[in-house]
């Protein structure tokens, strides 16, 4: 099912915030790709597929990992 204007990022946030899913991870989000690439891959920007595979280490808590990473970005900690 597709809804115009609703992409993968929005769907992930709806799952985590609306449904309460603890294991949602928007691996295609550029900010997340950048922070994970900088912290874990020596700054070389990784593909969405690499990030998706890497984030499996946080399962079944990937929503929490996403929240912490975005918080770190907002507070300029990384």
**CATH number of residue 17's parent domain:** 1.10.1670
In a domain, 2, yes or no: no
In a domain, 22, yes or no: yes
Q: For residue 62, what are the domain limits?
A: 8-74
In a domain, 44, yes or no: yes
Asked whether the beta carbons of 64 and 22 are under 8 A apart, the reply is yes
Which of the two residues, 56 and 3, has the higher pLDDT score?
Answer: 56
Asked whether residue 1 carries a pLDDT value surpassing 70, the answer given is no
Residue 4: predicted pLDDT: 78
In a domain, 19, yes or no: yes
Asked whether the beta carbons of 42 and 3 are under 8 A apart, the reply is no
In a domain, 3, yes or no: no
In a domain, 36, yes or no: yes
Cα gap 18→34, rounded to integer Å? 26
Q: How many domains does the chain have?
A: 1
Q: Which two tokens stand for residue 57?
A: 């280490």
Helix (H, G, I), strand (E, B) or coil at 66: helix
Phi, psi angle pair for 3, to nearest 5°: -125, 125
Q: Which two tokens stand for residue 23?
A: 């294991």
In a domain, 1, yes or no: no
Q: How do residues 4-59 score in pLDDT, each as one tens digit?
A: 776 776 666 666 666 667 888 888 889 999 999 999 999 999 999 999 999 999 99
């Amino acid at each position: 099912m597709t809804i115009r204007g609703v992409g993968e990022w929005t769907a992930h946030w709806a799952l985590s915030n609306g449904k309460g899913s603890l294991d949602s991870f928007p691996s295609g989000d550029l900010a997340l790709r950048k922070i994970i690439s900088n912290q874990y891959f020596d700054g070389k920007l990784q593909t969405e597929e690499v990030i998706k595979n890497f984030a499996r280490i946080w399962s079944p808590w990937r929503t929490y990992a996403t929240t912490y990473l975005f918080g770190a970005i907002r507070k300029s900690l990384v």
